[in-house]
Structure 1
Amino acid sequence: MSGNLARVIDLGERSEIDLGAWTAWLKDQLIEDWRPGEWDGEKLLFTGDLESPRTRAWHCIIDSCNAVSRIRHGWCTGCRKTFKTSGLSEVEFKATYRPDPNRVYSHTDTCTVKRDGKRCQREYHTTGLCRRHHTDWIKASRVRVRHKFGGTRNEWIRDVAIPYEAFPPCLILGCPLERTTLEGGLCRIHYRRWRVLHESEDRVPDLEHWLRHETPYLSVRQFSLAALSDLARLEVLYALQQRDQVAPNIDPATVRHALARLVGVENLVTAAPEDLVPDELRQRNIRIMIRDLAWEVAQGYDRFRGIDPTEKVVWDKRATAFLSPARRAGKSTGRAGSVDFSVVTQPWLREALMEWARSTRPESKRFKTHLAACTIASRVLSRQPGGGMDPSAVRFADMTLVVEAMKQLKRADGVTLLGSKSQRDILAGLYTILDFGRSAGLLETLHGTFARHSSHRIVVEESNEDEIGKAVPESVIHQLDTHLDAMGRDFSYSGLEPDAIGAMFQTAYQVLRDTGRRPHEVCGLKRGMLEFIGGDCFLIWNNQKSKRHRRRLPIDKDTKEIIQAWEERRNGLTVPAESAPYLFPAITGLGRHPHLTTNNFSRALRLWVDSIPEIHSEGTARDGSPVPFDRAKIYPYAFRHSYAQRHADAGTPIDVLKELMDHRSADTTARYYKVSLKRKKEAVKAMRLRVVDRHGNPAPMASNKAYEMRSVAVPFGGCTEPSNVKAGGHACPIRFQCAGCGFYRPDPSYLAAIEDQIRDLKADKETALAMDVDEYVIRNIQDQINSFKKIAANMQEQVEALPEQEREEVMESVKLLRKSRAARGRMLPLTVINRNESSA
């Protein structure tokens, strides 16, 4: 942190700073009517307005409580402690709890004695009374014991006590407490502080200086600049006002703690970073606040000296954040950091890039692409004779080398090549800079051949499913589901209780898993979005990517009940007003989104996944032990691919899956079927080696093609009889008595079908016996039963005899081929499979 701050406030020769001129400049820049009703310039005191959406201080959620909460729609400290020990639900507590009328909210509360419409103006001391009335009551109660006063305390307050006028306020600047001592005119709190200071120092401290720079008594929603030096007061006030123009709000408590760290600093413009943010400071919010104040002061000093931040070779990101629409809309203060244009070593190219950024004000993502393009071009030109310094010397061949370098760009892992579309975007960025430079007259000497040419085109490759996203395997999803109760438990979310936070994230995950919608579409679901037509239930959702709203997705009973259970619980929670229409509320009412953000959902998912002790992949190691699954592959969007892949694997018609995914093009949907085909080929490759004949003896197929040609021939295995294969399995010469046929070729993927056939044959035999049929019919049925039993037993023995790893591979192939065959001619349920059943 100190290193970053040093770069932000690097001011060169500090000894040359004219502090007098700097002070005058600051005074001219201050906003006179800043935060009316909250900022008191004479007292140097900020008191947050509880009704202002731009101040992080609100009324306690309990209506009858007058305390302040730092969380919107949250509890004050006292009410939260009482709630935790009450044993009541949140709804019951809010409806029934009433704070003690004598409860002290702050030292500024006044005495409760009132008569003839006039209330005592002295400070609250105890049991609803000021110190004087409390003493008077004690005396009166003693008289009562002597039978001279027989009334109760409330009767004494009503009939006897007389309101007193307030004492003069404490002399400390901005202190609201009353004077209780004659010495110095201080309140009791500051009198004690002065005595401690007076007794601890060897020499007598300067009372006048102490009075001007001592911090007043402050409530939760207040902060004061009184403790700072005269120049630091101006600097901090200027920084707060500048920050307030783009920051979402002011948190008085955080500012108060940050100011405490700046006490003793003569001024921020010459202070060393370690003086502002010491290494031992661990509170992140305070570090950020001090960093923001120092940054605003540093930028102000640049403006004081007439320095444009965009004229520097190194741009401060926040100083140039006006390039971002979010900055111009006042939604963000920008991210700390810098952009170093010196990585583009050729002055002509660097100046063209910088002028393009100044003139066009690009968004951050677009700016990064163009900077990357110029950096790559600069690196390539630097390796050529002359280093590319002379723009008139670069030629067509140099541009060819630049394009080739862009084709070899790799991802962050340093191994995988960057996608062709990303390569094209970067190359287009370089062309944009060159065209801009030429049109602006900055590259008049640049040789004309160093430009775009048809031979430099980067062809966009057809992406496959591995590139557009990887599906989370069903076996991994099943493992995640067994730990579902732990999701969201340790995630802090506004004023919600841990159980409610967990229920919200668990519901969002299940909806994402079962519906295959995009993460931002799930996070932005509205309340009451279930629609019932006949006996079917549909989810109403908005395709925000394609701007197609109120789409309908059929969902099953389990998903419907999950949503309904959360919505019922959601109705009893207190959430930001902006989140009222949404199923999943926002963490605060001051964010950009009025509902749960994908960023918070991703963080909750990552924390949950990382907390699960073990997650195994579908394969096994050489020694047969489970292989850990790469947890980095579990992210929100991957569950959309899981949904699509689940249906593609099960044979859902492509036109149906296209509608379920709400794809514009069937080509996008078809990619999932390509992956399914690839998996099927791998399964066939493993299974064709396990084919047997009708006696159960090994009869492996020579190729995948041979296996595929026969795999659909008959219900209980493959068939090699030519006329039956030609007819697609519908012209068996012996009427499908496969067990006695020399062309019959079963494999382990048909074991379940063979066992079903054995059971059917046994039932047929019982029926035949009851019908008193001829003996040869009974014998024929029994022979088929015996033959199928022998085939099944031999295949099972062969599979059991395989090494464990190879046996696991065979069983995975069995599962995939059985699913593929089972899906032919039928539609898969439209949302989610039954996770309580085995995938086999």
Structure 2
Amino acid sequence: MTISLPTPLLPETDEFDAVTAELWAAVDTDFLALLGWEPQMRVLYFPHDHLYLGVKACIVPSCYRASTYACGLCSGCRSRWKRQWQDLSPEEFAASPAAQAGRYLGIENCVITDCPRPWKGARVRLCAAHNYQRTVTLKLPMEGFLLHPDVRALESYGLCQTAACVRQRPGKTSPYCEAHKARLRDLRRRVRDFDEDHWRRTVTPIDEANEVNLRGLPDRVVTEVLYGLQERIRDCVRTPYYKLRPFCDLLRRRQVSSIEELELTDQSSGLHRQLRDAFIRYANRRGLSPETERHKDLWDLQAFGHTKWLRFTGITQPWLRQAAKMWAWDDLPRRRGDNVGDTVQSQVNALEKLSESLRVQGPDHGAQPAALGRGDIVAFGNRLAFLEQRGDITLRSRHDNCTYVRRVLIRMRAMGLTRPGQPLHGLPDDFAMGLEDVPALPDEDEAGHDLAPEVMEVLCANLPQLEEAHNREARLAIEVLIDTGRRPVEICKLAWDCLQRDGDGKPVLIYDNYKSHRYGRRLPIPEATAGLITEQQERVRAQYPDTPQNRLKLLPTTYRCVDGTRSISPAWVSGRHRMWVDSLPDFHVAAKVEIEGQPVTKMLPFDKTKIFPYAYRHTYAQRHADAGVPVDVLQQLMDHEQLVTTQQYYRVGEQRRREAVERVTQMQFDRHGNHVWRQAKALLDTEHLRRAVGEVAVPYGVCSEPSNVAANGQDCPVRFRCVGCGHFRTDVSYLPDLETYLADLLRNRERLLAAVAADDWAKAEALPSDEEISRVRRLIRRVKDSVDDLSDEERVEIDHATTLVRRARNSVVHVGLPRVRQPLPDIRPNRTA
């Protein structure tokens, strides 16, 4: 039995149907030349130095195999090195004679000129007939044999008769090469009855380095593989030979006439599934256009300039499905960004919910649009409420579905889809959703999702663990997110040259606001953050020296990219961030709980699900708002379009300041150091307002004397001898001021006692009294003792409340009492600038 060579892949073959011819015409001749394609041989040769196809060659000079190891050796050379020569470095081993000894160099032709028969081995280098002639007939050494006049080339016995093999047969007694003859012999020992003809068609060829054999595959499959491989290269996807070869062997074993026929199970290789789906997708996209997609139930959004797919299969009513397609056709051109597919699909899914409601609750399953009315809209709303109550959907999902259906129906009517001949012709006017049909959501602002300072300190202290568990890019992305408060996508897509200096030499980050489509935005950043970016720039430049600088990304990905021109994705960063946060020990923060009817402060675990990359933006904004940064300045820092968005953070700050005031008020003292026992919850709103605007402040506390309050602190009858006045009170937030006041009193007394140029009455008038000094000392001691009596949890809460109150106090102007606004809290005290 004889199997002829496969038909050359040329357009005039019978196997060339219209699809195959179209795909073959789309394969570039330069690409075929790169792979050394010959139609008669059907073998692809992957160049070692190609960016997306190549695998570096083994560092042993005489070895032709590829290396996938960091040491630079192929699997065979690496095994011999580790077995006997590990005392040498890989480079020393490669240069030594030991690396050449016993090397297997594959099968080559006999060394006699033009002899096509395979040699017996690397040591003999002659075919069987010539080796017999040299050793038995002529009995000559190799040098003399090569020069003997009777030695000449012999005829070939032909190729191995397996469909995929390109090796020569060693003799005429067997139709196979030595390797396949050995495989057949082994198979016969294991299996008694088998189809040898099927075996010939499906057996894999003998692997050769950097080669992928397409022999034995139909023209359609060969063309799909070639075109798919070409498109993967254009998409910057690495596809070395060791990934493609097993897939082609699988196609040969399954004897499919097209890759679309290849069925894979759940146990199949993920790489096989990836290649199959990619090759089918590339083949189907050939000739793709919006016009070809708009009539399908599944749209490939590549035709519209976007990614992913758009499915209409869940809408069962033909009129509603057609209207949905026409709406999507009209809506897609107005969309921008990376998530267009998800955004439009969400609105189509809302129509699927409407379709399901009509199908389940309508008498004719919603088949006739003219039979619908207000009752069907009410039924749809009731069904969504039922699904929410059952737990199938959330309130947010219910709200969004109603909003989307309302919006899409309005747009469909505006498009004229209710006119005669259109899908919605006859649809009653009362089949529409009003604003009152959309369930309200609780007030949820962007603000209020920031992370507590103690949580941020722990996260920043554990950033090195993020780099150890993943890589430098993951850590740098999170670190810059923390320092700058940008959105994750804005940091992930930073260009390599994103760092500039302003006129004063200060660092400025150049980023793009993709959400609002504002590009080239400028943000002042700390020198420490600029140092991180500079270090990453040097690292990326060294890693990709041949890539033009204007195409490089600051945070390049290694997925589907080998030249640094694609950035990591927000989803990738979010996934690594989640794994890192979950691996950290529990975070504990002070929180109030009620035990036996009494509020108690406890250190409770912090919910780790609240720690996500976008939370760093909220934390950045809240930190600046709490520090008293003007709202218009913070709006520019956050690059908000609307001022109201920025103002949300100040409302959160006001609420927290009120809570802090209530907390420190529980530790109020009079001039004798006695507790003023007053429940914080009984504070009047007017007092909160007075504190918010700075109060009528007196040194180291507040004054409640009516005439002095009315005069804004300018009519004190005891001339600011506050610690001797019954209207004076202070709290724990004034402790640093009291300590400073005591130091001033002692310093002034020593200076006055040493003075000789003043009259006695002047000294007596200016000299701080011992009673005042004792009173301040006692007051300080009582405040400190009260703090020491607190539990650890209460002390943490008091410290936090004190910080907020002092920051709020420093952010307003006090008459006669100049103050300096507190700086931003340092959540990374150990980092050098």
| TM-score bracket for the superposition, by shorter chain length | 0.7 to 0.9
Is 1:765–1:782's contact at 8 Å kept on the other side of the alignment?
no
Selected match of 2:488 from 508, 512, 519 = 519
Q: Which residue identity does 1:619 align to in structure 2? A: A
In the TM superposition, residue 465 of structure 1 has moved relative to its aligned partner by 2.7
TM-score of the aligned structures, taking structure 2 as reference length: 0.73
Q: Structure 1 residues 112, 788: CA separation in 2 closer, same or farther (over 3 Å shift)?
A: farther
Is 1:352–1:442's contact at 8 Å kept on the other side of the alignment?
yes
- State the SS of the aligned residue for 2:430: coil
Q: Name the structure 2 match of 1:482.
A: 461
Listed one character per residue, the Cα deviations across residues 496-554 of structure 1 (whole Å, up to 9, x for unaligned) are xxxxx33x332232222112222222223333544345764212312332454444333
2:446 corresponds to 1:465 = yes
Q: Which residue identity does 1:255 align to in structure 2? A: L
Is 2:374–2:432's contact at 8 Å kept on the other side of the alignment?
yes
Q: Name the structure 2 match of 1:833.
A: 826
CA distance in 2, matches of 1:462, 1:624: 28
CA distance in 2, matches of 1:481, 1:64: 49
Selected match of 2:243 from 254, 261, 278 = 254
- State the SS of the aligned residue for 1:761: helix
Q: Name the structure 2 match of 1:57.
A: 54
Q: Name the structure 2 match of 1:584.
A: 555
CA distance in 2, matches of 1:270, 1:176: 24
Q: Structure 1 residues 829, 239: CA separation in 2 closer, same or farther (over 3 Å shift)?
A: farther
Q: Name the structure 2 match of 1:709.
A: 690
Listed one character per residue, the Cα deviations across residues 256-280 of structure 1 (whole Å, up to 9, x for unaligned) are 323444565454899999xx43444
2:619 corresponds to 1:642 = yes
Listed one character per residue, the Cα deviations across residues 607-663 of structure 1 (whole Å, up to 9, x for unaligned) are 222222333345377797642222222222221221111111111122222232233
Q: Which residue identity does 1:721 align to in structure 2? A: E
2:264 corresponds to 1:277 = yes
Listed one character per residue, the Cα deviations across residues 452-492 of structure 1 (whole Å, up to 9, x for unaligned) are 668768999986234xx72232221211122211113343x
Selected match of 1:751 from 722, 726, 735 = 735
CA distance in 1, matches of 2:220, 2:313: 28
Q: Which residue identity does 2:724 align to in structure 1? A: G
CA distance in 2, matches of 1:668, 1:736: 43
Q: Which residue identity does 2:182 align to in structure 1? A: R
Q: Which residue identity does 1:192 align to in structure 2? A: A
Selected match of 1:659 from 618, 622, 636 = 636
Matches within 5 A, 1:439-838: 439=419, 441-451=422-432, 464-466=445-447, 470-491=449-470, 501-502=471-472, 504-532=473-501, 536-545=505-514, 546-574=516-544, 577=547, 581-588=552-559, 590=561, 594-619=566-591, 626-699=603-676, 700=678, 702-703=682-683, 704-709=685-690, 712=695, 713-771=697-755, 776=764, 780-802=768-790, 805-824=793-812, 833=826, 835-836=828-829
Q: Structure 1 residues 120, 99: CA separation in 2 closer, same or farther (over 3 Å shift)?
A: farther
Q: Structure 1 residues 202, 816: CA separation in 2 closer, same or farther (over 3 Å shift)?
A: same
Give aligned pairs, total: 743
Q: Name the structure 2 match of 1:15.
A: none
Q: Which residue identity does 1:517 align to in structure 2? A: R
Is 2:738–2:776's contact at 8 Å kept on the other side of the alignment?
yes
- State the SS of the aligned residue for 1:697: coil
Which stretch shows the higher mean deviation, 455-464 or 218-227?
Answer: 455-464
Listed one character per residue, the Cα deviations across residues 765-802 of structure 1 (whole Å, up to 9, x for unaligned) are 33233336868569734323322232233333444445
Is 1:181–1:191's contact at 8 Å kept on the other side of the alignment?
no
Q: Structure 1 residues 52, 311: CA separation in 2 closer, same or farther (over 3 Å shift)?
A: same
CA distance in 2, matches of 1:166, 1:626: 90
CA distance in 2, matches of 1:96, 1:668: 65
2:274 corresponds to 1:288 = yes
CA distance in 2, matches of 1:585, 1:649: 35
The percentage of aligned residue pairs carrying the same residue is: 24
CA distance in 1, matches of 2:65, 2:644: 57
Q: Structure 1 residues 256, 718: CA separation in 2 closer, same or farther (over 3 Å shift)?
A: same
Q: Structure 1 residues 361, 601: CA separation in 2 closer, same or farther (over 3 Å shift)?
A: closer
Which stretch shows the higher mean deviation, 476-485 or 372-381?
Answer: 372-381
Which consecutive unaligned segments of at least 5 residues does structure 1 have?
1-22, 87-92, 136-148, 492-500
CA distance in 1, matches of 2:387, 2:72: 54
Q: Structure 1 residues 602, 100: CA separation in 2 closer, same or farther (over 3 Å shift)?
A: farther
CA distance in 1, matches of 2:783, 2:384: 55
Listed one character per residue, the Cα deviations across residues 5-47 of structure 1 (whole Å, up to 9, x for unaligned) are xxxxxxxxxxxxxxxxxx9887443244546344555445444
Q: Name the structure 2 match of 1:394.
A: 372
Is 2:537–2:554's contact at 8 Å kept on the other side of the alignment?
yes
Is 1:602–1:636's contact at 8 Å kept on the other side of the alignment?
yes
Q: Which residue identity does 1:57 align to in structure 2? A: G
Q: Structure 1 residues 347, 835: CA separation in 2 closer, same or farther (over 3 Å shift)?
A: same
Is 2:402–2:438's contact at 8 Å kept on the other side of the alignment?
no
Matches within 5 A, 1:116-131: 131=124
CA distance in 1, matches of 2:714, 2:173: 112
TM-score of the aligned structures, taking structure 1 as reference length: 0.72
In the TM superposition, residue 673 of structure 1 has moved relative to its aligned partner by 1.2
Is 1:694–1:791's contact at 8 Å kept on the other side of the alignment?
yes
Q: Structure 1 residues 269, 506: CA separation in 2 closer, same or farther (over 3 Å shift)?
A: closer
CA distance in 1, matches of 2:42, 2:201: 11
CA distance in 2, matches of 1:537, 1:458: 49
Which consecutive unaligned segments of at least 5 residues does structure 2 have?
1-12, 83-88, 129-140, 334-339, 813-818
Q: Name the structure 2 match of 1:138.
A: none
Q: Structure 1 residues 470, 25: CA separation in 2 closer, same or farther (over 3 Å shift)?
A: farther
CA distance in 2, matches of 1:731, 1:134: 118
Q: Which residue identity does 1:762 align to in structure 2? A: L
Q: Which residue identity does 1:195 align to in structure 2? A: R
Q: Name the structure 1 match of 2:348.
A: 371
Q: Which residue identity does 2:720 align to in structure 1? A: F
Is 1:542–1:548's contact at 8 Å kept on the other side of the alignment?
no
Is 2:499–2:508's contact at 8 Å kept on the other side of the alignment?
yes
2:22 corresponds to 1:36 = no
Is 1:352–1:433's contact at 8 Å kept on the other side of the alignment?
yes
Q: Structure 1 residues 80, 553: CA separation in 2 closer, same or farther (over 3 Å shift)?
A: farther
Is 1:61–1:74's contact at 8 Å kept on the other side of the alignment?
no
Q: Structure 1 residues 366, 649: CA separation in 2 closer, same or farther (over 3 Å shift)?
A: closer
CA distance in 2, matches of 1:708, 1:179: 98
Is 1:507–1:562's contact at 8 Å kept on the other side of the alignment?
yes
Is 2:453–2:827's contact at 8 Å kept on the other side of the alignment?
no
CA distance in 2, matches of 1:351, 1:567: 51
Listed one character per residue, the Cα deviations across residues 73-124 of structure 1 (whole Å, up to 9, x for unaligned) are 9986549998xx99xxxxxx9999987797699846979999xxx9999999
Q: Structure 1 residues 650, 109: CA separation in 2 closer, same or farther (over 3 Å shift)?
A: farther
Selected match of 2:418 from 438, 443, 463 = 438
Q: Structure 1 residues 45, 75: CA separation in 2 closer, same or farther (over 3 Å shift)?
A: farther
Q: Structure 1 residues 387, 804: CA separation in 2 closer, same or farther (over 3 Å shift)?
A: farther
